[in-house]
Amino acid sequence: MSFVEVCVIALALVSYALISKRIEGWPLSMPMVFVGMGWITEATGVVSLSTKTGQVAVLAEVTLAIILFGDAVRINVRALGHDLSLPARLLLIGLPLSIATTTAVVALVLPRLSLAEAALVAAVLAPTDAALGKEVVEDESVPQRIRRSLNVESGLNDGMVLPAVLIFLALAKGEETTAGFWSRFVFQQVGLGVVIGVLAGAAGAWLLLRAQDRDWVEGIYAQLSTLAVAILAFAGADTAGANGFIAAFVAGLAFGAIAGRGRGDHLVEYTEDSGQLLAVVSFFAFGNLFVNDALRALS
């Protein structure tokens, strides 16, 4: 990436910031704006990113993990404990129904696909995205109970749907696997992800608070270490073969529960800002790298 391209992205961010409050009520979200900017700059030849797809995937995954962690820290765990029924219904009933319904639609629209391939497409499309749904979760006109439930659902659905994606992928490719293999895989992805998330979030918060109480932490490093806890939970889970997104979200819940509402909200501010900046870059890169190719493939 050249300095000219960096300059264009920075200019796009400044331009959006200047009118961000004015367009708040418009049906135009931040992801739409920056995907559009990325697409336009590529189509006009102003910016043509040459970043490899794998690097973009890493950027997008780390961005999502940071956003999930930041959202989870602000969740009132005690209130959530008294109202688990709605997020449970969203994850255990709504998500499977969404996959089943989308499978039927895909099978009708694309009859050449096998049932396993249609289910694979449905499983990929079913989860909501925390970055895309942020506008709703932060909208105070939406009841807090609904926002909290959507926050939990968006934080856990990616991890919960991954086993289904891989099962449908194996079926589509005709691979033979046993039920025992998938049971172990689901346990490793979900169960181990939860354990790593709890350990990283709780230990990170406890150590940071103890160090702060002893006046060992210098200024901004308290917030920087909070960001590091989010990355540690995600990367640690991925390294262990668990689901990093579940680990990052659960780490945020544990961190917020240990830190408390006041201190937790303060410590996570930089993490949220960093996640938002990375989201801007990710959506711009997505629009620049993939939208024109997709449009050409459709024409």
pLDDT tens sequence across 101-146:
999 999 999 999 999 999 999 998 888 766 666 667 777 777 888 8
DSSP string, 230-241: HHHHHHHHHHTT
Whether 11 and 153 map to the same domain: the answer is no
- Across the range 30-40, mean pLDDT stands at 92
Whether 193 and 63 map to the same domain: the answer is yes
Looking at residue 132, its pLDDT comes to: 63
Whether 93 and 134 map to the same domain: the answer is yes
Q: Please state the domain count of the chain.
A: 3
Give me the domain span that covers residue 41.
Answer: 1-50+288-299
DSSP 46: S
- Tell me which of 144, 175, 206 is where a domain ends: 175
Whether 76 and 91 map to the same domain: the answer is no
Whether 23 and 141 map to the same domain: the answer is no
Indicate if the pLDDT at residue 284 is higher than 70. yes
Looking at residue 268, its pLDDT comes to: 94
Percentage of the chain modeled with pLDDT above 70: 94
CA dihedral 220, 221, 223, 228 (to 10 degrees): 150
Q: Per-residue pLDDT tens for 137-170? A: 777 777 888 888 888 887 788 778 877 888 888 8
Confidence of residue 292 (pLDDT cuts 50, 70, 90): confident
Whether 78 and 225 map to the same domain: the answer is yes
Quick one: which H or E segment has residue 6? helix 3-19
Q: Which of 184, 182, 203, 210 is nearest to 247 (CA)?
A: 203
Query: How many Å apart are CA 226 and CA 248, to the nearest integer?
Result: 12
Identify whether 283 is part of a domain: no
For residues 173 and 229, the answer to whether their CB atoms sit within 8 Å is: no
- Tell me which of 130, 147, 175 is where a domain ends: 175
Q: Per-residue pLDDT tens for 36-89? A: 999 999 999 888 887 666 678 888 899 999 999 998 998 888 777 777 788 888
Whether 113 and 225 map to the same domain: the answer is no
Exposed, middle or buried by CB within 10 Å (0-12, 13-18, 19+), for 108? exposed
Identify whether 29 is part of a domain: yes
Query: How many Å apart are CA 16 and CA 9, to the nearest integer?
Result: 11
Other beta carbons within 10 angstroms of residue 200's beta carbon come to 28
Cite the DSSP H helix spans in the chain. 3-19, 30-43, 53-73, 77-81, 85-89, 95-109, 115-125, 134-137, 144-173, 179-186, 192-213, 221-239, 244-259, 261-267, 269-286, 292-298
Looking at residue 130, its pLDDT comes to: 61
Whether 89 and 171 map to the same domain: the answer is yes
Any idea which of 42-51, 191-200, 258-267 has the lowest mean pLDDT?
A: 42-51
Whether 66 and 200 map to the same domain: the answer is yes
Whether 216 and 191 map to the same domain: the answer is yes
